[in-house]
Structure 1
Amino acid sequence: MNDAVSTSLVATAPAWRVSDDLVPYDSALAAMQTQATAIRAGEAEETVWLLEHPPLYTAGTSAQPGDLTNPANFPTYDAGRGGQWTYHGPGQRTAYVMLDLTRQHGLIPPRDVRKYVWGLEEWVIRALDQLNVRGERREGRVGIWVADGAGGEAKIAAIGVRVTRWVSWHGIALNVSPNLDHFSGIIPCGIREHGVTSLEKLGLTTTLEDADLALQSAWTGVFSATA
């Protein structure tokens, strides 16, 4: 590939946006869809949006009705992303990633959704490593897993994506200090035999700002054009 073509296919760094207030889920969906459409049209820059939602449950395209065990607990939304049921709420850092996947992003080749999902996993694992937590993948189980301190393991981050005309949206949700009791209204990602955890439950005093810094730093090694 010659230099001119190579340059055109390699993405530059995305814009990072942080919302300080809780963002209603329907507003976030509309904003992501608008941004993804504009990215595809060449009218907006790629963006990573860091935010929190008020307490709610979202259903992915594979969600089973029976895995919503307490439908009166919080509002529910059809997310349109891949995956099953997920909880969002205060104390959870949600990162919505809107990238043009026709371009190379660091370790992620163009038009490779499987590798893109791997990249999101790797991003979270590297961010957790900066917070002195060992995150791991598990075959057949979506998300990032950690030792729970009681001889078992639990999910600390959920991953769910949607790709529209080769632009990604949705992303990851990292449990920093959410109310873990709120997960009791669903079977998270359809997995009954393992629970969920957070950085707080692991004994860390990590703030959302700490998590943001780790995520931004870890991005470079996975998605940066110079990775």
Structure 2
Amino acid sequence: MVRHLGAQVSYDETWQAMRTFTEQRTTDTPDELWVLEHSPVYTLGQAGMESHVLNAAGIPLVRSDRGGQVTYHGPGQVVVYCLINLRRIGLYVKSYVAMLEQAIIDVLTSVGLAQACRKAGAPGVYVPGRCVSPVVAPPDELVKIAALGVKIRNGCSYHGLALNVDMDLQPFLGINPCGYEGLQTSDIRHCGVQLSTNTVGELLVSTLQQALSDAAKQHEYCSA
């Protein structure tokens, strides 16, 4: 099931709703994808260090129960929260994270950003500096365009991914994104592609649905 929650959605309220959904779900509860844009907020992972927040400039800071360090959510960024029973489809955390990254890469490739890639030891999706205008990094330096944050409870995931589409990127300068000093961030628009957040959201949902379906079929085949 896909739920479109709209724009300017409260982070706190959505986080609590995800936790409640996960706590109350049974082995038969259908999986859900929640698609939205948040009001401006910095979120810090459960083991995150506040020292990575350099200048919040009035933007609220929320300590969450996801993994990872600090990131920014705001208008123009597509967030997809994945409430998935990973045990049911036979996915472990490492393969699940790889699936999320690949879905983002596939979407970016489909809209003309074939240079999108992973970065060893740093979950998320990146593009080379040469893809970004105005220039924010050397041509071969990787610039972050999408972040991941997951939480697993009783074999079920919540939180998910955030892909920068058409944002005010200034708030990223107030943090060490994902805990990496000097890491630059960008969005799809600054890579020369004009798309709405709704369009990118639909592409992400359909790609994720196909990936999850493929994983479930593979698990069923291997279990037969």
What's the TM-score, normalizing by structure 2?
Answer: 0.87
CA shift for structure 1 position 220: 4.2
Cα deviation digits, residues 38-63 of structure 1 (max 9, x gap): 32x24742101010111110000232
Q: Which amino acid aligns with 1:156?
A: I
Q: Is the 8 A contact 2:165 2:188 kept in 1?
A: yes
- Tell me the alpha carbon deviations over residues 149-181 of structure 1, each in whole angstroms, 9 at most, x when there is no partner: 250320000001000111100000000011100
Residue identity opposite 2:49 in structure 1: Q
- C-alpha deviation, 1:29, in angstroms: 0.8
Match of 1:197 among 186, 194, 199: 186
Stretches of structure 2 that go unaligned for 5 or more consecutive residues are 131-137, 219-224
Of 17, 20, 23, the match for 1:31:
17
* Structure 1 segments unaligned to the other structure (5+ residues): 1-14
Q: Secondary structure at the match of 1:156?
A: strand
Cα deviation for residue 221 of structure 1 reads 4.1
The amino acid of 2:187's aligned partner reads S
Aligned to 2:166: 177
Q: What are the residue-to-residue correspondences of 1:59-98 with 2, within 5 Å?
A: 59-98=44-83
* Correspondence for 1:126: 106
What are the superposed Cα offsets for residues 111-158 of structure 1, whole Å, 9 maximum, x if unpaired? Answer: x11111111111111111111113211111121001232503200000
Query: Structure 2 vs 1, CA of residues 25 and 44 (structure 1 numbering), >3 Å: closer, same or farther?
Result: same
What's the Cα RMSD here?
Answer: 1.6
Summarize the Cα distance change of 1:64–1:147 in structure 2 as closer, same or farther, 3 Å threshold: same
Cα distance in 2, alignment partners of residues 16 and 148 from structure 1: 34
> 1 CA distance for matches of 2:56 and 2:210?
40
Cα shift readout 1:176-196 (whole Å, capped 9, x = no counterpart): 011100111111001124300
C-alpha displacement at 1:37, in angstroms?
A: 1.8
Q: Is the 8 A contact 2:33 2:205 kept in 1?
A: no
Q: 8 Å contact 2:176–2:182 — kept in the other structure?
A: no
Name the CA shift for 1:170/1:62 in 2 (closer, same or farther; >3 Å). Answer: same
Question: Displacement of 1:102 after TM fit?
Answer: 1.0
Between 127-136 and 196-205, report the one with greater CA deviation: 127-136
In structure 2, give the amino acid aligned to 1:138: K
In the aligned structure 2, how far is the partner of 1:21 from the partner of 1:57? 16
Distance in 2, matches of 1:30 and 1:62, equals 19
Helix, strand or coil at the partner of 1:201? helix
- CA deviation map 1:78-132 (0-9, x unaligned): 111000001000000011000011111xxxx34x111111111111111111111
TM-score w.r.t. structure 1 length? 0.86
Equivalenced residue count is 207
The SS at the match of 2:190 is: coil
Look up the match of 1:12. Answer: none
